[in-house]
Structure 1
Amino acid sequence: MAPEKRREQLLDAVLRVIVEQGVHKVSIDTVAKDAGVSRPVVYGLFQDSDQLLRACLDREETAALTQLAGAVPPATSGDPIRAMTDSLENFLTAVQAAPGRWRAVFQLADSSTPAFRRRLETGRQKFIEALAAFVRAATPPDRLPTVDVELTARTIYALFWEAGRLVLAEPDTFPTQRIRDYASTLIPALPAFHDPKSVR
């Protein structure tokens, strides 16, 4: 196997170990066993288990951030409510397409290891900032002074995050369509998107 393909194979094995056994179980031995290779094969590409874990986290972090960035609709969306519900659905589709990655992300978010939580917190903060920019652009100027943009962005973020957990943990109970239907009633109720003039 070519070195680059072998590297990807080993990083895939690291991800499986994180999801199935926990991040604390990542070692040269467990990864070699999961990948079905010998220890020397792993050592041929990685110096130790720390380097192996960092390489896996770097790869998955990059991919997850790309997916999160794609979940924020453009600020110029004509219908911000539809744009946000579409984005939520797109995010859930991405989560379901890479379940190992996102199970690891959710596990690491709850990890007792500060270094892992800091990595995730950086990505989550960027996502919240992007949502805040969308909310600010989508809110009519005359209502903007009365809207708490940051809390609105965090509310939407919490919806995305918990929805991602649910479609993986309980897909039969919480399918994408159920979550989208709920979001289509929740988002219009937020002050940034709710137009009091529409209430008769």
Structure 2
Amino acid sequence: MAANSHRPRAEHLGPERRRPQILDAALDIAVSEGVSAVTVASVAERLRVTRPVIYACFANRVDMIAELVQREEGRLRESMTTVLRRRAVDADATVFIDGFRALLNTVAEQPKTWRLVYGSPDSEVAEFFGRGRADAVARCTDLLRPTLAAWGMPEADIDKKLYPLVELWVSASEGAVRSLLADSRWAPDELAEFLGESVYHALRTAV
């Protein structure tokens, strides 16, 4: 007799209500075991439903993973739009602290999404992580150029130094996310103050 023959019948939900549940289960599996472990069978087992319930929402594993990646990418883009909204040009340490605070509180609110990005070696994840990082670099470049000018850096120096300074800022942000996920001793606001001050002084002394 099949192993799932005694499984209770799942509550009947339409695809629009069931799909988020499936994606949440797929995210749990991806974070804990890797994207390669996300299959129709593993998600059905996690939700305690039969495979046809999954197939009623997704044609196959590839479609399910693609929608999961798209959903989490959308969440990250929304977060980064909030974090990197336009700020004062003549920025002081408070501006950078506020930016790190917004970022790290987003991480605290959606840790699974960020763990998927920073903890997975899977190519499906690496591709959208690369797109998100490129977008963050572009936004930081747009923000930092006028700030360096307001701080008094000559235009020729801005053209030369802007990219490495943006990389410093973005890399520090990535390190902040990893630190918060890896070390429970840090609270988001505490880590934001520490790194915001550090990044500000590193950028300010480059002028």
Question: Helix, strand or coil for the counterpart of 1:74?
Answer: coil
Residue in structure 1 matched with residue 175 of structure 2 by the alignment: 162
Any residues of structure 2 matched to 1:45-56 within 5 Å, and which? 45-56=57-68
Amino acid at match of 1:46: F
Q: 1:22 to 1:71 in 2, by over 3 A?
A: same
Counting aligned pairs with the same residue, the percent is 20
TM-score (ref. length: structure 2): 0.84
Asked whether 1:143 is paired with 2:143, we answer: no
Residue in structure 2 matched with residue 41 of structure 1 by the alignment: 53
Q: What is the aligned counterpart of 2:201 among 167, 189, 192?
A: 189
Q: 1:184 to 1:45 in 2, by over 3 A?
A: closer
Asked whether 1:3 is paired with 2:12, we answer: no
Residue in structure 2 matched with residue 152 of structure 1 by the alignment: 165
Question: Helix, strand or coil for the counterpart of 1:140?
Answer: helix
Amino acid at match of 1:103: R
Question: Helix, strand or coil for the counterpart of 2:93?
Answer: helix
Instruction: Give the Å deviation of 1:77.
Output: 4.6
Asked whether 1:119 is paired with 2:128, we answer: yes
Instruction: Give the Å deviation of 1:125.
Output: 0.5
Instruction: Give the Å deviation of 1:122.
Output: 1.1
Residue in structure 2 matched with residue 72 of structure 1 by the alignment: 84
Asked whether 1:171 is paired with 2:171, we answer: no
Query: Do the aligned partners of 1:26 and 1:49 also contact (CA within 8 Å) in 2?
Result: yes
Query: Do the aligned partners of 1:17 and 1:25 also contact (CA within 8 Å) in 2?
Result: yes
Between the aligned partners of 1:119 and 1:177, the Cα distance in structure 2 is: 27
Q: What is the aligned counterpart of 1:29 among 35, 41, 60?
A: 41
Determine which structure has greater relative contact order: mean sequence separation of CA pairs < 8 Å that are 6+ residues apart, divided by chain length. Answer: 2
Between the aligned partners of 1:95 and 1:165, the Cα distance in structure 2 is: 10
Flag structure 1 segments of 5+ consecutive residues without an equivalent. Answer: none
Paired residues, number: 191
Q: 1:24 to 1:8 in 2, by over 3 A?
A: same
Between the aligned partners of 2:196 and 2:132, the Cα distance in structure 1 is: 26
Residue in structure 1 matched with residue 114 of structure 2 by the alignment: 102
Query: Do the aligned partners of 1:128 and 1:153 also contact (CA within 8 Å) in 2?
Result: yes
TM-score (ref. length: structure 1): 0.87
Instruction: Give the Å deviation of 1:37.
Output: 1.4
Amino acid at match of 1:146: D
Bigger Rg, which one: 2
